[in-house]
Amino acid sequence: MIARLRRLFLFLCLILILAFIFSDGLLYYCSRWHEKTGEVKKAVSGYRELLRKRPGSRWAERAKEAVDRLKEKKE
């Protein structure tokens, strides 16, 4: 029983660590999905959140390009 709980705890810790490491990529792809489904305001909000929280991320440049692209579409 304790061994199962220990494995479950380790698994949950691993999931949390991976979610933290890849959160910027997840935020980018969620914003892309919002963009593709026509929810432009949610997409821009997600991209801006990524730029605000993780400006040095490898996804930040793509998010900036997406925001610029959506601004151009709007105008």
- Is the CB of residue 57 less than 8 Å from the CB of residue 50? yes
pTM score, whole prediction: 0.74
Q: Report the residue count for the chain.
A: 75
pLDDT tens digits, residue range 21-39?
A: 788 888 999 999 999 999 9
Tell me the C-alpha to C-alpha distance, in Å, between residue 43 and each of 8, 16, 34, 55. 35, 24, 5, 17
For the chain, the straight-line distance linking the first and the last C-alpha, in angstroms and rounded, comes to 61
pLDDT tens digits, residue range 54-71?
A: 999 889 999 999 999 998
User: How far apart are alpha carbons 75 and 70 in whole angstroms?
Assistant: 9
